[in-house]
Amino acid sequence: MDGKTNNIVVDIKNVEFLYEDTEETGGSRVLKDVSLQVRRGEFLAVLGHNGSGKSTLAKHLNAILIPEKGKVMVEGLDTSDESLLFDIRQRVGMVFQNPDNQLVATIVEEDVAFAPENLGVPQKEIRERVDYALDAVNMTEYKDHAPHMLSGGQKQRIAIAGVLAMKPDVLVMDEPTAMLDPAGRREIMETVKKLNREEGMTVVMITHFMEEAAQADRVVVMDHGKILMEGTPREVFSRVDEIKKIGLDVPQATELMYLLKKSGLNFETDILSADECVNVIKDVYNAAKEAL
């Protein structure tokens, strides 16, 4: 595990970025001296309020945007070198918020085959890649369906399969669950965790849902174009006051423990999940009952 995590897939070094449309951004920098390393095999969540620069950062990972200052290296390839564009985009695949904007074909398996076809992959290998990708997102039984007849979660899984068929090393997702219902959100989180844990896929996920970020290996919090916090979900979410101050939230389980602690009960605030929270409260309750 350690040898793996030392391996850097994307290296972002002192990146600055400014959109040309200065009226919208008020002329201020969207990214200010951002440095971040994405480690091979990790599940990294990026949090931040609207306008904090997190989508802009994500777009730097596969050369959709090129840094104004600083460098982004994808497995040693410099994203500012236009001749490397194809290699970089093949290594880093992107999934966006709205699945309807990402599907191109009228049949699911044709949609998934779109990228490898464009990459000139031989026919036989396309078949293998499509089968693998559909299986990885658990959508094989829908391969002959029309994408527009599927649910939001299913459509988004097809979009992920479309990226997997390129055989990327990193999967970058920009709020992939924002438009989905709770069942769809669960489907996507299960798919992402499976890809990460079983297939070893490196995942970078931007999200507004704290419960989703709590499931990552590492969390980065962006604020006003800078990286404000970085650490395990437990480390980051235990800083409840700071998180709330920049307009973000913590999972409800964490917030409950925080409020109870504030009111004088001796609880830890580095609680992330419902089950952890239940166990801590249950233990305190049972101990108090026995003491009587």
Binding site for other proteins (CB under 8 A): 23-24, 48-51, 97, 151-153, 175, 178-184, 186, 208, 210-211, 247-249, 251-253, 255-256, 259-260, 263-265, 274-275, 277-278, 281-282, 284-285, 288
Q: Nearer Cβ to other proteins, position 122 or 182?
A: 182
In degrees and rounded to multiples of 5, residue 103 shows phi and psi of -100, 135
Shortest Å, Cβ 90 to other proteins: 29
Q: Nearer Cβ to other proteins, position 95 or 180?
A: 180
Radius of gyration of the chain (CA): 21
Q: Nearer Cβ to other proteins, position 128 or 181?
A: 181
Contact yes or no for 213/240 (Cβ under 8 A): no
Rounded to whole angstroms, how far apart are CA atoms 209 and 212? 5
Q: Nearer Cβ to other proteins, position 67 or 184?
A: 184
Q: Nearer Cβ to other proteins, position 4 or 262?
A: 262
Shortest Å, Cβ 281 to other proteins: 6
Q: Which helix (H) or strand (E) holds 215?
A: none
Rounded to whole angstroms, how far apart are CA atoms 158 and 139? 7
Q: Nearer Cβ to other proteins, position 109 or 175?
A: 175
Shortest Å, Cβ 190 to other proteins: 14
Rounded to whole angstroms, how far apart are CA atoms 57 and 223? 12
Q: Nearer Cβ to other proteins, position 119 or 178?
A: 178
Shortest Å, Cβ 247 to other proteins: 3
The DSSP string of 68-105 is SEEEEEETTEETT-GGGHHHHHHHEEEE-S-GGGT--S
The burial class, CB within 10 Å (0-12 / 13-18 / 19+), for 139 is buried
Shortest Å, Cβ 256 to other proteins: 5
98: left (phi > 0), else alpha (psi -120 to 50), else beta?
Answer: beta
Q: Which amino acid is located at 40 in the chain?
A: R
Shortest Å, Cβ 214 to other proteins: 10
DSSP state of 141: G
Q: Of how many residues is the chain composed?
A: 292
Q: Nearer Cβ to other proteins, position 217 or 249?
A: 249
Shortest Å, Cβ 151 to other proteins: 5
Shortest Å, Cβ 285 to other proteins: 6
- Contacts of 188 by beta carbon, 8 Å cutoff, 6+ apart: 153, 156, 157, 160, 176, 177, 180
